[in-house]
Amino acid sequence: MAPERYRDWLQQAQCDLDHARVAIRACHFEWAAFAAEQAAGKALKALHIFLRGAVWGHDLPLLLEGLPDGRPVPKDLVERAKALHRHYLNARYPTMFASGTPREHYTLAEAEQALADAEVIVEFSRKGLPE
């Protein structure tokens, strides 16, 4: 992938953050959490693409800790990535719970925390990219 495509990934990450905010207002907390997870993943992929041109996978902690330039990653950021990563499946599939749908299990507090975590990871990624 061409390194300049990082801008597209970062722009989509911002769109996903916006979607998470809209989903929170609509009380779709599971979708807000998923959109937040997606925003963090796309921002990290933007950073990977800029640094080496390609990246695969959806594991946020691995994307964060495996940056090609070996930059140190704050421990709290890794914890945020771990918390967000659980929304990749849980927010979408009823089989992730003993009963009920993701919508029944997600709360406003979880959605807001996911959004806050994603905003921090997106900002971390943005700081590693040219303006």
What is the percentage of the chain residues whose pLDDT exceeds 70? 98
Q: Which domain holds residue 19?
A: 3-127
The tally of domains found in the chain comes to: 1
The three-class DSSP label of residue 59 is coil
Q: Note the pLDDT tens digit of each residue in 112-129.
A: 999 999 999 999 999 999
Q: Per the structure block, which two tokens stand in for 97?
A: 């719970």
* pLDDT for 19: 98
User: Cα 21 from chain centroid?
Assistant: 14
Structure confidence by residue, pLDDT tens digits, 50-80:
998 678 889 999 999 988 888 889 999 999 9
- HEC string of 35-80 equals HHHHHHHHHHHHHHHHHHCCCCCCCHHHHHHCCCCCCCCCHHHHHH
CATH code, domain with 37:
1.20.120.330
Which pTM does this prediction carry? 0.94
